[in-house]
Amino acid sequence: MLIQERIQLILKMHALTPSMFADKLGVQRSNISHILSGRSKPSFDFLEKVVVNFPRVNANWLLTGEMKENATEIKPLKPSNNESFQQKEIVKIIEFYNDDSIKVYFTKNE
């Protein structure tokens, strides 16, 4: 399915005319006409406006036509068996600069 077909489907699902869609997104009506006819491709800003104004539209589907999500589940960190987060604290931070200089910060008096 081409991107203009996916946009056309969004219009149909929300019972919008191309003019109403353009007004809702805050874009020129001619932009919608050019995109729907395949004369031009939608810009990133245009696609972002679609996703922001229609939060139920899956951004991955809009961009690729696929419904799968590429995001992975983020799990909280767990300490290993022989350590705990309470035992660790930062005592020194070292910054290395591209001019070969270094800054060292200590979190405790040392």
| Res. 87: pLDDT tops 80 | no
Torsion angle of the four alpha carbons 51, 41, 38, 54, in this order, in degrees rounded to the nearest 10: 10
Identity of the residue numbered 24: K
List Cα–Cα distances, 94 to 20, 99, 103, in angstroms. 56, 15, 6
Q: Averaged over 5-15, what is the pLDDT?
A: 93
CATH value at residue 11: 1.10.260.40
Is residue 107 assigned to a domain?
no
Q: What is the pLDDT of residues 58-78, one digit of tens each?
A: 998 999 888 765 455 545 555
Buried b (16+ CB within 10 A) or exposed e, 11-48: eeeeebebeebbeebebeeebbeebbeeeeebeeebbe
The pLDDT value given to residue 78? 59
Is residue 54 assigned to a domain?
yes
Q: Residue 58's domain spans which residues?
A: 3-64
Is residue 73 assigned to a domain?
no
Number of domains in the chain: 1
Is residue 100 assigned to a domain?
no
